[in-house]
Amino acid sequence: MAIKIFVPIDDAACSVGANEVALEIKTEAEKNNIDIELVRNGSRGMLWLEPMVEIEIENIRYAFGPVSKNDVKDLFAQEFYKNNTHPLALGETEKLPWMKNQQRITFQRVGVIDPLSISDYESHGGLTGLRNALKLTGEQIVSEVTESGLRGRGGAGFPAGIKWRTVLKTENSQKYVCCNADEGDSGTFADRMLMEGDPFTLIEGMTIAGIAVGANKGFIYIRSEYPAAIKTMTNAIKIAKEFGLLGASVLGSDKSFDLEIRAGAGSYVCGEETAMLESLEGKRGVVRAKPPLPAIEGLFNKPTIINNVLTLASVPMILSEGAQMYKNLGTEKSKGTQVFQIAGNIKQGGIFETPFGVTLNELVNNYGAGTLSGKKIKAVQVGGPLGSYIPVNKFDTAMDYESLASIGGMLGHGGVVVFDETVDMAQQAKFAMEFCVEESCGKCTPCRIGSTRGVEVIEKIINGQNKAENVHLLLDLLDVMTDGSLCAMGGLTPLPVRSALENFPEDFALVSSPNGAQ
């Protein structure tokens, strides 16, 4: 029997040589006359171990990593496919501390299956949720999603069921389901890894959404910075159509649903849902004023569900295992699991899915094992470029929507970016403003002009010009941006700036935090 060998095809794994390793494994196997079945799976999310090769013996998978193409000859010489003694052997994959301590719901199949094998998908629980949904009424599906407590994973944490109900209740012969795969936040890559590692889950989730609210057409808006994800999703949609998962008769039912991919064009603000709609309509990605809500007048003015990749990818599980199972995980108000992405200056970075409520310290120091540089941690930015910088003395904060809000932070899309002690927080504050200058859609003045003024004022503070006055001016500006911006781009850019200033006054050469004396 052929020996099953897994080498990830995830783009992060390929960015450190997975394709070369796969090629070398093929060559060596042929040379040594060993019959292998090479599977290109998604990544398990232990990115510091990539390229991580796995072998399967009696249905148990064993990991080796990080493997470089120069290691392959030796792996074969020591018959790594038979025993676990090679220096690169890590042991049973599922029993590695990183894996064992997670509860993978949304990511249950990522890294496990061949992303484009629909039979693999089905044999690992895929399509059960959709089959169940096809036996229910739209109202029943929406109730199940509402009951599960699932909240949007794109940033705002809005209950998915409530949004779906609005679309369900709005009468229209044409409705849409749009998946937000713009994933612009620095430090986040879960959407990408899910699309590359388990694309049928997203397709199934969107199909369930369509059936629930009576929409027969969906779009996936993927950022252009993700060419590999675009390719995998495109292929997956093609396969799903051939299989009869998508099309005029979903799994042989009287329901129809079709999907199309649209690529972004390099704009962060197009991740904001109404800007994304504009972009999907082929226009400049300028934010729309609300109301009307997209659920009532969305894409081409039709009722539209807009959800993040991870939100939609959680739906099949809820429909297959039931709302109760999902609801039992997490905290009182933050139900289910959160896919954390541990990134930046970190020794062990990657995907960590766990019920809400884990602390920052556990994520960064226990699982992440501290900084890559070996230096002390100074700050962690949680929630992307609009998230606050959290100092080490607040590391016992639980990672859920409410606890983070209580310390002036936000969870966003679950990105955790670690900085060591060499970071200059005044530069980071300035960068936050520069980013806003670059990405503002231009609709409102506090964001468009305020960010430019923000860069200038921070520069003056750094240069020591009229310090007290300029700090005062900056704080004023932050208030104006917070209160006077239409969307979170201008409205939340003050978060990283204010948190840098308050938690690290010394980097601005201030003796104390600006709320005290200067």
Partner 1 sequence: MGNSTTKFQPFSKEAALNLIAPFARVEGPVLLALQATQKEFGYVDRDAVEVIAEVCNVSIAEVHGVLTYYSDFRTIPAAKIEVKVCVAEACQSVGSRKLVADASAALNTKMHSQSMDESVQLNQVFCLGNCALGPAAMVDEKLVGRATGEKIAEIVSQIKKEYA
Q: Which segments within 318-392 are labelled E, that is strand? A: 337-344, 350-355, 377-382, 389-391
Residues 302-331, mask of contacts with ligand FMN (x by CB under 6 A): ----xxx--x--------------------
Q: How far apart are the first and last CA of the chain?
A: 74
425-439 and 445-462 helices, crossing angle to 10°: 150
The entry of ligand FMN, partner 1, ligand SF4, none near residue 490 (CB within 5 to 8 angstroms by kind) is: ligand SF4
* Closest distance to ligand FMN from the beta carbon of 415 (Å): 11
- Using DSSP's 3-state secondary structure scheme, residue 312 falls into helix
The verdict on 134 binding ligand SF4 (CB under 6 A) reads no
Residue among 315, 417, 441, 495 that touches ligand SF4 (CB under 6 A):
441
When asked if residue 490 is in the footprint of ligand SF4 (CB under 6 A), the reply is yes
Q: Which stretch binds ligand FMN (CB under 6 A): 25-33, 136-144, 265-273, 508-516?
A: 265-273
Q: Given the complex with ligand FMN, which of 71 and 198 has the nearer CB atom?
A: 198
Find tokens 């923000």 and name the residue. 454
Q: What are phi and psi of 211, to 5 degrees?
A: -65, -40
Which helix H or strand E contains 6, and what residues bound it?
strand 3-6
> Exactly one of 307, 443, 470, 498 binds ligand SF4 (CB under 6 A); which one?
443
Least separation, in Å, of the C-beta of 419 and ligand FMN?
A: 22
Between 179 and 208, whose beta carbon lies closer to partner 1?
179
The Cβ of residue 82 has, within 10 Å, a number of other Cβ atoms equal to 10
* Nearest partner of 42 among 222, 213, 233, 175, judged by Cα: 233
Nearest-5° angle of CA 71, CA 73, CA 75? 70
Stretch that binds ligand FMN, among 58-66, 108-116, 271-279, 510-518 (CB under 6 A): 271-279
Q: Is the peptide bond before 291 cis (omega within 30 degrees of 0)?
A: yes
Residue 387 DSSP SS3: coil
**Site map (CB under 6 A) of ligand SF4, residues 161-190, x = contact:** ------------------------------
Q: Which stretch binds ligand FMN (CB under 6 A): 50-58, 180-188, 235-243, 444-452?
A: 180-188
Q: Is 267 in the site for ligand SF4 (CB under 6 A)?
A: no
Considering only residues 459 through 488, tell me which ones interact with ligand FMN, judged by CB under 6 A: 487-488
The stretch among 105-113, 176-184, 462-470, 506-514 that binds ligand FMN (CB under 6 A) is: 176-184
287 touches ligand SF4 by CB under 6 A: yes
Instruction: Give which of 493, 496, 332 is closest to 398, Cα–Cα.
Output: 332
**How many CB atoms sit inside 10 A of residue 447's CB?**
27
Per-residue burial over 241-272, b if 16 or more Cβ lie within 10 Å, else e, is eebebbeeebbeeebebbbebbbbeebbbbbb
Judged by CB under 6 A, does residue 293 bind ligand FMN?
Answer: no
Task: By CB under 6 A, name the binding residues for ligand SF4.
Answer: 269, 287, 440-444, 447-448, 485-487, 489-490
Task: By CB under 6 A, name the binding residues for ligand FMN.
Answer: 152-156, 158, 180, 182-184, 269, 271-273, 306-308, 311, 487-489
